[in-house]
Structure 1
């Protein structure tokens, strides 16, 4: 039986100038850690009478507009000119990637505030009001224009314990999220591709598999043909190989590159009372899928899955395990 009993849905939020640079190596959509961070900040920001616990968050993108110009194969971000500094000199330009988004946020929640239909809808409206004053991935939530009715209102969806009724209700939810695409985790494709590459070369690494799945691979094919005179000739053709599906490289957290340092041991740390550790970004393969291809809320939601002993601080999503099990 699933632990997810309620979904808090904030549909068609318009976010302006969100951060498009998700990591040192990827760009194009905010990192999932930004939305998980929003979830934690929202939970701390709730008033006492809203007794809600957040278990995970899913993101469905309906529209986007990257603030970048394209010239040939290169792109450049639209940058702002910063004011002069206190000495009157021109301040340095810090490169920032921005993107406008239209997204739906889906939170898995539990708590006393979820009981009762009228109470649940009141809670959904109050949470949406709080989110409207927060930052989402560094961007601002833009309200609907005056006199224009929002496409959908926020609501709290209670899921049944009966599997058939639960599946029917989730199918109805999926239709309300169309058109759009949900970002899910595909660790399984990365593992599978690494095994295939190591059959050809034992020196293949996870980085090789990650890059292979992240790009268009142009491959040369040689075929032998026979002409009318019976002579064999070699013909060269180029093909583009890429696995099916809209695959993208994504960051999913951080991995430790140092031991856990005691509070105050590192100079100029932001917090002198919390243990400190140097980390670097962790990457995997993600996939944009249409919501109608999701069979359960677990396939949509992201949650924290840390392994402190191994020094892993990462996010996880149950799409790979469930998808592989149905194949």
Structure 2
């Protein structure tokens, strides 16, 4: 397993209003764009800036301040779908379900590159240049919109990281204030593994998918309670249904974290109709894990917030990782 690349700078782009982002993150999950959408955004932004700025986007963090899923219904919700034009013969065209969501998010990018060596007084101009480029791009399929009337868009911040760990944590403590109020998405692979061990104590045949499904829903179990009879008779037994998902677990959510190989790695150009005929090709499927939404004020280091790519061609795993759980073990 790889670790977070060594980063020397941070770029904070606060309060981005994104309209009609993709709310369907995988075949099994919906409600927020997949984290791969944001790591892909970082790569696309790096390519757009390649001719003007020497910056490498090594990692990205996401903080959600507000969301509005484009759905209707109470208990059973359905997406608001667009009406497609009729066919040539006048019949109704097929509807392809598209989930959309409006977002108010802040993005934090972990950077390396020669551009970070610029004088401190030039960093605000470089931050605005990167932010202006980002405002013209799609974020998870959605469009970046201007601020609401009467409000100003907060200025982006580009900063270099101090080599001293204590100073770096203090700088991040000041930076995270701009991320409040909101919730940051972090990885909780550890909760999935621990719940799998708990599940196998009563169900030896359970696998990781069973544990993932069990954590993705709210389970209710019956509990019998005995109450003494004031008259001295037999105690009365009452049945009470209790939720098995405790509040101490936090705001956990099922989420896709990348892709796993379904086929060997084929040479470039050997698979017909591939999008890129100059890159090796492989069929993949989604990988799933557990995430948690935490308030930024509970984060103590930037590594707890950032997601980075972990590509293992030999094992066929292409996934995004986050070191939140690993840093919790170190602090404990």
Which band: TM-score by shorter chain?
over 0.9
2:232 pairs with 1:229: yes
Q: State the 1:164 CA deviation.
A: 2.0
Name the CA distance, whole Å, in 1 between partners of 2:313 and 2:295: 34
Matches within 5 A, 1:268-283: 268-283=273-288
Residue pairs, 1:303-318, within 5 angstroms: 303-318=308-323
Q: 1:23 aligns with which of 19, 23, 26?
A: 26
**Cα distance in 1 for residues equivalent to 2:272 and 2:160:** 49
How far apart are 1:169 and its partner, in Å? Answer: 1.2
1:138 to 137, 141, 147: 141
Q: Report the counterpart of residue 258 of structure 2 in structure 1.
A: 253
In the other structure, the counterpart of 1:198 is: 200
Indicate the residue corresponding to 2:37 in structure 1.
34
Secondary structure of the equivalent of 2:125?
A: helix
* CA distance in 2: counterparts of 1:129 and 1:308, whole angstroms: 35
Q: Contact 2:70–2:80 (CA<8 Å) still a contact in 1? A: yes
**1:167 deviation in Å?**
1.5
CA distance in 1, matches of 2:276, 2:111: 30
Partner of 1:114: 116
Q: Assess if the C-alpha contact under 8 Å between 1:113 and 1:119 holds in 2.
A: no
Provide the residue aligned with 1:56 in structure 2. 59
1:66 counterpart residue number: 69
Q: What is the CA-CA distance between 1:274 and the residue it aligns to? A: 2.7
Alpha-carbon separation, structure 2, partners of 1:270 and 1:163: 44
More displaced stretch, 252-261 vs 267-276: 267-276
Q: What CA deviation, in whole Å up to 9, does each residue of 1:261-286 have, x standing for no partner?
A: 23344333323333222211100000
Residue 159 of structure 1 and its aligned partner are, at CA, apart by: 2.1
What is the TM-score when the length of structure 1 is the normalising length? 0.94
**In 1, Cα distance between the equivalents of 2:109 and 2:226?**
57
Q: In 2, distance between residues paired with 1:35 and 1:275?
A: 23
Deviates more, 1:282-291 or 1:220-229: 220-229
Residue 324 (structure 1) shift: 2.3
CA positional deviation for 1:113: 1.2
User: Does 175-184 or 165-174 show the bigger shift?
Assistant: 165-174
Three-state SS of the structure 2 residue aligned to 1:118 is: helix
- Out of 159, 162, 165, the position equivalent to 1:160 is 162
Moved more, 24-33 or 201-210: 201-210
Tell me the equivalent position of 1:94: 96
1:86-111: per-residue Cα shift (whole Å, max 9, x none)?
Answer: 55543221110000001001001121
* Match in the other structure for 2:176: 174
| Pair 1:219 & 2:221 matched | yes
Measured in 1, the distance between the counterparts of 2:237 and 2:92 equals 61
Closer/same/farther in 2, CA of residues 176 and 280 from structure 1, 3 Å limit: same
Q: CA deviation at 1:134?
A: 0.4
Aligned CA distance change for structure 1 residues 293 and 48 (closer, same or farther; 3 Å):
same
Gap change, CA 1:56 and 1:237, over 3 Å in 2: same
Q: Is the 8 A contact 2:259 2:285 kept in 1?
A: yes
Per-residue CA deviations over 1:176-217 (Å, capped at 9, x if unaligned) read 110000000000000000011111221111111111211111
